[in-house]
Amino acid sequence: MIPSKNWFPTNLQERAAWYENFNAQAQATGLTFGLVQANLDQIKDDNSVMQFLASAAVTMAAYDDAVRAFRKTITEGEIGDPTPEFPANISLSPPATVPTGLFERLDNYVGVIRKSLNYTPETGAAYGIVPSSTSKPIPDTVKPTIQVFAAQMGYLFSVVVANRGDSDMWEVLVMKKGAANWQSAGSFTGKSGDVTVTPTTAGEPEQVQVRIQLKKNNANYGQLSDVVYVTLNP
């Protein structure tokens, strides 16, 4: 089963960001809303699997891009051009296996929380389990939340953006370590986007700060997101 799309995202990266928040809320207050310690332990393990699946998807996509670039160069390049190296094999380290039925368990946990005598609308908002509303948000109060996943190679990262309000676009802003100013790294229109950063020193890891600015009709919309740090590898 898949939980209701009225409150559960449909995109893998966004689902991982959602579950990260749900786990944090559950570990902090879950016992207050009807969950027991065994539930919290399972939620923590399920979250580890969700984060791995999301990050693995980014890593595999980056590797696929690298192999495609190798194929294009080796087959379509001119005689005498430098010969590229085939991309190094990726290595994935999954967490401990959890029982089948992660989404069904999640749906059951949500039901327990909603039925708790201590449950309030504020609780639902904090956990991300309030069904979507048709009311329009106030632009100045919209603050996006982001989650950033670094690929294992290629100076590539993916950004997943939630709480976009009525924006129709968002811009990724990055600042390299030691830099004084934010630089635009591209604009996107969906829930997620992939960004490649040119390293300060080729072959060395690059640490960058990432935040996003929502846009509507090419003008800034809402507040800047919080800053997320990420380290990118060659």
Complete DSSP assignment for 164-229: -TT-SEEEEEEEETT-SS-EEEEEESSSEEEEE---SSTTS-EEEEEEEEEEETTEE-SPPPPPEE
> What per-residue confidence (pLDDT) applies to 133?
58
Across the range 50-55, mean pLDDT stands at: 94
> What per-residue confidence (pLDDT) applies to 141?
82
SS3 of residue 91 by DSSP = coil
178 vs 113, residue with greater confidence: 113
Across the range 179-183, mean pLDDT stands at: 91
Average pLDDT over the chain, rounded to an integer: 92
pLDDT above 70 coverage of the chain, percent: 97
SS3 of residue 79 by DSSP = coil
pLDDT per position as a tens digit, 186-195:
999 988 999 9
> What per-residue confidence (pLDDT) applies to 136?
62
> What per-residue confidence (pLDDT) applies to 139?
75
**pLDDT > 60? residue 135:** no
Structure tokens at 71: 């194929």
Q: How far is CA 56 from CA 43, 49, 52, 151, in A?
A: 20, 10, 6, 8
Q: Which residue in 214, 217, 215 sits closest to 225, CA to CA?
A: 214
> What per-residue confidence (pLDDT) applies to 103?
97
pLDDT per position as a tens digit, 54-103:
999 999 998 999 999 999 999 999 998 899 999 999 989 999 999 999 99
CA distance 225 to 212: 6
What band does 41 get if pLDDT is binned at 50, 70 and 90? very high
pLDDT per position as a tens digit, 219-231:
999 999 999 999 9
Contact 113, 127 (CB under 8 A): yes
Q: Is 12 exposed, middle or buried (0-12, 13-18, 19+ CB in 10 A)?
A: middle
Q: Which residue in 1, 86, 98, 6 sits closest to 46, CA to CA?
A: 98
0.75 exceeded by pTM: no
